[in-house]
Chain A
Amino acid sequence: MSESLGEATGVPQAGAPAATATKEPYLEVANLKKYFPVGHHRTVKAVDDVTFTVYRGETLALVGESGCGKSTLGRTILGLYKPTSGSIKYQGKEMSGFHSADRKAFARKAQMIFQDPYASLNPRMSVGDIVAEGLDIHHLCKTEEERDARIEELLHLVGLNSEQADRYPSEFSGGQRQRIGIARALALNPEFIVCDEAVSALDVSIQAQIVNLLRRLQSQMGLTYLFIAHNLNMVRYISHRVAVMYLGTIVELGDAEEVFQSPAHPYTQMLVDVLPVADPDVPRKVLARESGEMPSPIDVPVGCPFCTRCPHRTERCEKERPHLRDMGDGRQVACHLFD
């Protein structure tokens, strides 16, 4: 790993999204549920029975509207929330026990990059201390020189220079802060990074810089990404596979390019339809008036979660919840239409 870190300071090199993805299961999530009590005996079913696999070296995108549970799912996988039920297997080993050795091993291999580069860095810590915090906690550097060298290496890796280690976050722009957050995530040589809306808060011209950096790091270090986002054009570009979430459940999962080219689930269809195209000569698709809004995750419909807005709903959709079903070619869809 340290070899690849040394090379990483070179010219950014492109890697096709397909270059790093494998078919080796890295994380297997099965029937995962995360409910939050909200008083008056009511619960928010933020993640409601979700099953999927993350393969080593791939970028799996989680997309959906706010409140669909994508962030909760990412955080539950990292162990920031205790799951209500269900299983998460890391390289074939169950991780449901929070204090097991496996859990700890995973915690070192799994990191997170946050959305807001202003709120996610401690303003009173120097950049060097922020980046090295994980190293300090795990006592990975024996000498001060070793620590400084590692900080320098990490800052170079994300396109910052070592003189900036003594400065404070307030001296940096949004894009630079996000680079600091990425350097911190890389400090422990992780295998798996949850990028929770990692570029959404950044300006357009800076987004491209950060996305290129994330892709370069992936091909150099063989990283596996769970990329949580709502910008579908960016998701289509960066990810190998995409999982579309709605009201705590995955409604469609498959190869990113294929899902966007030929969306199967009516909700995915709707998302793709309303996606604004950056070309004034392309006519705007006008939504049906009754396209509605996502219901509250407290009052989830009994049947298909999307049935309140679906143009194809039948009586069966209101009564019976559809489950993810294999459609071939790795595509899975939860919809009675494809029964």
Chain B
Amino acid sequence: MADDTSKKPLLVVKDLQVSFDTASGEVQAVRGVSFHVSPGETLALVGESGSGKSVTAQTIMRLNPEPPARIKAGSVMLDGVEVTKADDKTMQDLRGKTVGMVFQDPMTAMNPTMRVGRQIDEVVLEHNKIANSEAWERAVRIIDAVRIPNAADRARQYPSQFSGGMRQRGVIGISIANVPKLLIADEPTTALDVTIQAQIIDLLLSIQKEERMAMIFITHDLGVTAQVAHRIAVMYAGRIVEQGDAHTIYHHPVHPYTKGLLKSVPKPGQDRSVDLYAIEGAPPNLIDPPKGCAFSPRCEKCMRICKELQPPATDLGHGHVCSCWLLDPRAKAVADAVGAGAGTSSEEGGAR
């Protein structure tokens, strides 16, 4: 799978920090996030609600209203443009042309008072100097490309005349109208039924392959992630705690949160006489995040240092990066002792 991704990244996010200034204080939604995506590659941002995955994605398009959002630090290089410093005009050129976005809820992502074809050709006309009739023809072709039958008739209909799955196809049509280099899909199948979800994933993957788009796929569903992602970044409390290629993350996870998340999902043939593995507790409040590792209050292998200092990112080779104090050479003794005692560490062991 990695073969069809070129080496030069299209998007490089470096130490991005985004906060929201609210009445109850500064919510540190994204607290230093770094990743990159190359053409033809799918990066999945995985995490629970409030982990900062959507805020990260929306910052790439500068869709968060500023204020209350504030980019505190870091850089987002998208196709040679520094997004964090770009003006409105530059951003407008980027949106819909270089980067397209598919949102979670197909019921609200479309304008209910506009014909579906018009919503697509609007995006085409915004970035191309062509005649209205030509743009409409292109919209019809796009509707056909996202596998909506009777495209010419459907283009003249309104979103309310579409079913949920068809609406999401329409939203995908809008987002790919100008063949963007980067497609951001924010929980694109979460609101859909499983059979429709499979159809939409098929569609997104085939479009991506044809056009060699880079894709950021945001989801909390570990099953969907496994099906779409080349690489995975696991987010927790505004940081990426672990990232690597899909096989590594699923089969050789290192971070206790990644491990816990994978274990807490029931698998076919799971022993039903035993309780599900559950990560106790809840994610921290990001108005006042913990001083050390944000996962430490829930971590079975928490050490003293975890509560005091943020763990540094450790490069484990082949793009596998993990931020955990257990990877520190000095932690090995502790990790072995705790891991053996708790009896929950998986085959790979917590530290190397």
Contacts and interface: CB of A to CB of B under 8 A. Distances in A.
A and B: partners?
yes
Interface of A: 12, 14-17, 65-66, 173-176, 203-209, 211-212, 215-216, 230, 232-234, 236-238, 257, 260, 270-271, 274-282, 284-287, 289, 291, 293-294
B147 interface: yes
A203 B194 CA distance: 18
Contact of B260 (A205, A212, A233): A205
A275 B223 contact: yes
Nearest to B265: A278
Question: Which one of A205, A216, A275 has the highest number of Cβ atoms from chain B below 10 Å of its Cβ?
Answer: A205
Given A278-B265, A287-B198, A66 B282 contact: no
Contacts of B264: 204-205, 207-208
Give the one of A204, A230, A260 with max B CB within 10 A. Answer: A204
A113 B262 CA distance: 26
A276 B223 contact: yes
A interface, over-half SS? helix
Contacts of B226: 276-280, 282
A205 to B, nearest CB: 4
A212 B202 contact: no
Of A206, A237, A278, chain B has the most CB atoms within 10 Å of the CB of A278
Interface in B161-210: 163-166, 193-199, 201-202
B156 interface: no
8 contacts: A14-B275, A16-B273, A65-B196, A204-B261, A212-B276, A236-B266, A280-B247, A287-B195
Nearest to B198: A274
A17 B225 CA distance: 29
Contacts of B270: 236-237
Contact of B49 (A203, A236, A277, A279): A203
B140 interface: no
A275 B265 contact: no
B305 interface: no
Given A12-B275, A278-B262, A291 B199 contact: yes
B341 interface: no
Contacts of B247: 280-281
A286 B200 CA distance: 11
Given A278-B265, A294-B193, 4 more contacts: A233-B265, A276-B198, A282-B226, A293-B195
Contacts of A232: 194
Nearest 4 A/B pairs, CB to CB:
A276-B223, A237-B266, A16-B273, A65-B193
A125 B202 CA distance: 46
Interface residues of B, number: 49
A297 to B, nearest CB: 12
B272 A17 contact: yes
Interface string B74-108: 00000000000000000000000000000000000
B132 interface: no
B69 interface: no
Contacts of A294: 193
Contacts of A208: 264-265, 276-279
A282 B251 CA distance: 12
Q: Name the residue among B164, B196, B229, B277 with the largest chain A CB count within 10 angstroms.
A: B196
A278 B250 contact: yes
B150 to A, nearest CB: 14
B315 interface: no
Nearest to B189: A276
Given A237-B276, A293-B163, A205 B250 contact: no
Contacts of A207: 264
A211 B276 contact: yes
Contacts of A230: 193-194
A286 B202 contact: yes
A205 B261 contact: yes
Nearest to B264: A208
A37 B180 CA distance: 46
B258 to A, nearest CB: 11
Contacts of B283: 203
B48 A205 contact: yes
A277 B221 CA distance: 10
B222 A237 contact: no
A204 B282 CA distance: 11
Nearest to B249: A280
Contacts of B195: 65, 270-271, 274, 287, 291, 293
Contact of A204 (B166, B197, B265): B265
Contacts of B317: none
A15 B247 CA distance: 33
A149 B280 CA distance: 26
Interface in B257-299: 260-262, 264-268, 270, 272-280, 282-283
B125 interface: no
Contacts of B147: 289
B159 to A, nearest CB: 15
Given A291-B199, A293-B163, A215 B275 contact: yes
Contacts of A293: 163-166, 195-196
A212 B280 CA distance: 11
A317 to B, nearest CB: 19
A131 B279 CA distance: 26
B144 to A, nearest CB: 13
Interface in B119-135: none
B23 to A, nearest CB: 14
Contacts of A209: 278-280
Contacts of A285: 198
A208 B201 CA distance: 26
Given A173-B282, A176-B282, A260-B268, A233 B223 contact: yes
A14 B275 CA distance: 6
Contact of A233 (B164, B229, B268): B268
Contacts of A205: 48, 260-261, 264, 278-279
B246 interface: yes
B331 interface: no
